[in-house]
Structure 1
Amino acid sequence: MMRTGWKVLALVGLSAVTTSCKGLNTATLTQALDKVNTFSVEAQRCEKMHADPGVQEEYALGGALAINFVRRGDGLLLSGPDDALHRYVNVVGKNLAAQSARPTLEWTFGVLRDTSQFNAMSAPGGYVFVTRKLLQGLENEGELAGVLAHEIAHVTLKHAIRQYGEAKVKTCTLVTLGESALPPSAVRLLSAGRDGDGSLDLDKDSGLLGYLSEKTIELIDKGNAKEQELEADRVAVELMLSAGYTPDDYLALLAKTTDGGGAFANHPGKDERRDNILAHVQALKQPDGAFRGLATEGLRSPPLSPAFAAVRGGSSARGVAKDGK
């Protein structure tokens, strides 16, 4: 690490200043080198913070990120007819999450008031949000399922957890080198994690939680790696099939997006994503055309709930089922 290199040069330079006229002050140099070695060993311990956190730490981080998403998304749609929409999105989302590799997370789905960004996002611990703008572009429940399944996949694949790990390691290294302005309580907590198994009890220090959340958000805003997005698409397809939705609806939604914009600003191009999804669906099929462990019969593309009228401005909006249908 470049910062560590500068620290070494500074310490060696300090030892040169203390050299006596008769020769090198070996005691001072030895002390300086010992200090450098100590810094190096402690900094290496920070690497253990790349490991997956425990569920309590994940929930603390996810909750903080969720608050950030809600604030930036102009708040949640929850009152009046919007409450029915919120419940509907949770039913669809939790059904998909139950098919995932992490069904026991306390999954929470929410609709943000944001009418300017065609966007969806997720946070560790099972938080998934979609914007009102995105919902306004959906034609049926299958498209909604595709969006939610993609974000569920990011959570189960722990993509944000990897970004959080990067933030933890960098912050720990800065603290070790004495280059962090964090308060003493946060420094003690980080040092304990460095000297322990790498985990942090974020509930003990709201300041550290806020700091690491901000650093993680900065990484999230830069976007996931290309392969992570393609991987999330593949898992999303499997979740949709498990829940009985046809992946064609997800492909239909992707076809309506614009490369490099909105929720897909940092994603691979939609043509590449389409090819990736189609190849994965084909790979999931048995020689006789059936899906492994799944039945192709009954795959459906149901209409949206009447609750969707809350974001469409009326029950006559496209794709919205009438009451009782």
Structure 2
Amino acid sequence: MDRIDINRLAIAAVIAIISIISYFSASDNNPITGEKQQVALSTREEINLGLRAAPEMLQQYQGLLPNQQAQNHVNNIGNQLITALNSALERKSRKNPYPFKFYLLADNQTINAFALPGGRVFITAALYHRLATEGQLAGVLGHEIGHVVARHSAQQLAKQNLTQGLTGAADIAGGDIKTARIAQAIGQLIHMKYGRADELEADTWGVKLAAQAGYDPRSMLNVMQILERAAGGQSPPEFLSTHPKPTNRIVYIQHVIHEAFPNGVPEGLRP
């Protein structure tokens, strides 16, 4: 091995070490769950990022649906979920730092719901109009709230920074594009794994928040069936593009419901 190769490996090692140290140094306690997480943003930075990104999301999905009654309906269900979340946090002497706001988008073709970091939650008219009950809407919005409170975006950004650093190190060490592409492919596999775990965690939040707000969490099972029918054997709705298959999520949601209510779901919850 010549001097150039040795120097290249040394530089690559330094970049890799710095990337790993930076990743594990970027830790923070989640103010809602109390868990320590590797995140790339503070809660204030998450809120500011969500505020800056919201106008672009509105433009991408044709703006707000011009139906104030429907928007009020989404606001009402969403705010009930936040009230339930805040009440649960108060009992644990914790506080929700996120100013949640809900948007009903005009796009009537794209079946989707998503959340920006910091508390901006969106649902398209295409998905909203397919939901038959308030419990189903509560499940969808609760799922998206779960992404925010679990700080999934801040976690993913930290993982992306780590992957980019390791990919750069592999590029320098290997000295060719092929090596870098292999490293990048590994990074993408890592992100896919964590992304699907995030979706299941968000489903857990959806079940629990819906029940705490007085809705039957089994309504989320109906949401999965609606999404499966919407796919119709074709490409899945955008809401499912990075999610586990609805059939797999049904099994998982059933498991979460059983764990939350081992003696059965209480009577009187709204469907």
TM-score in terms of structure 2 length: 0.70
1:98 aligned counterpart, secondary structure: helix
Q: How far is the alpha carbon of 1:49 from its aligned partner?
A: 3.8
Q: CA deviation at 1:55?
A: 1.7
- Answering whether residue 259 of structure 2 is matched by residue 283 of structure 1, we say yes
Which consecutive unaligned segments of at least 5 residues does structure 2 have?
A: 28-37, 90-94, 173-187
1:45-56 equivalence runs, <5 A: 45-47=21-23, 48-49=25-26, 51-52=38-39, 53-56=41-44
Does residue 125 of the first structure (1) align with residue 113 of the second (2)? no
Structure-2 residue corresponding to 1:13: 4
Aligned partner (choices 194, 197, 211) of residue 241 of structure 1: 211
Question: What RMSD in Å do the two structures reach over aligned CA positions?
Answer: 3.5
Partners of 1:112 and 1:137 lie apart in 2 by 14
Aligned equivalent of 2:78, options 90, 93, 99: 93
The verdict on how the C-alpha distance between 1:297 and 1:39 changes in structure 2, with shifts beyond 3 A counting, is closer
Within a 5 Å distance, the mapping from 1:233-312 to structure 2 comes to 233-258=203-228, 261-262=236-237, 263-286=239-262, 289=263, 296-301=266-271
Equivalence for 1:73: 61
Could you state the TM-score of these two structures normalised by the residue count of structure 1?
A: 0.59
Q: Tell me how far apart the structure 1 counterparts of residues 203 and 15 of structure 2 sit (CA, whole Å).
A: 42
1:226 Cα offset (Å): 2.5
Q: 1:141 to 1:237 in 2, by over 3 A?
A: same
Q: Secondary structure at the match of 2:147?
A: helix
SS of equivalent residue, structure 2 residue 215: coil
Q: AA paired with 1:120?
A: A
Compare CA radii of gyration and give the structure with the larger one.
1
Kindly provide the amino acid, as one letter, of the partner of residue 73 in structure 1.
Y
**92 and 103 in structure 1: CA distance in 2 versus 1, 3 angstrom threshold:** farther
Task: After TM superposition, give the deviation of residue 148 of structure 1 in Å.
Answer: 0.4
Decide which structure has greater helix share.
2
Distance in 2 between residues matched to 1:14 and 1:104, nearest whole Å: 50
Q: Match of 2:4, as an amino acid?
A: G
Correspondent of 1:138 among 126, 131, 148: 131
User: Any gaps of 5 or more consecutive residues in structure 1?
Assistant: 1-8, 16-28, 180-217, 302-325
Given that 2:258 and 2:264 are in contact with CA atoms closer than 8 Å, whether structure 1 keeps it comes out as no
CA distance in 1, matches of 2:168, 2:248: 42
- 1:111 equivalent in alignment to 2:104: yes
Matched-pair identity in %:
27
Deviation at residue 35 of structure 1 after TM alignment: 6.9
CA gap 1:14/1:239 in 2 versus in 1, 3 angstroms = closer
